Amino acid sequence: QVIVFHDICPAATYHLLSCPVIHIKDCKQLTKNDIELVKLLETSGLEALSRLGANVQDARIGFHWPPFTSVSHLHLHLISPVSSMGCLAELKYGSKSPWFVSVNDVISHLQKLPEPTENLTKAMI
């Protein structure tokens, strides 16, 4: 369901991307039914960071919020250690950035959405 790999332009010593295998354009395409997928993206990414020896306690984890996306395929950034990020990386992946949101922010957003109807879900496929 998920693939994790190194970012080609790392913002810190460790910078991984956790992506669903199925195509989802971005966070705004997610529904309430995708909460478990979002959690799986985070869990898989954290496991990969840990296997590499990165400090998962000093990690910045989040999604770019549309329209501030550079790739049209949902991906979760896992960056560690935060202390090794430069000024430009802090702008792009900053914790106070309106265009970089945490997993918890995305899950909170999804929980507030109405339940998807069967017809709507089929129309999106």
**Which residues does the annotation mark as catalytic?**
75
SS3 62: strand
Contact between residue 109 and residue 52 where contact means Cβ atoms under 8 Å apart: no
By the 10 Å C-beta count (0-12 exposed, 13-18 middle, 19+ buried), 67 is classed as exposed
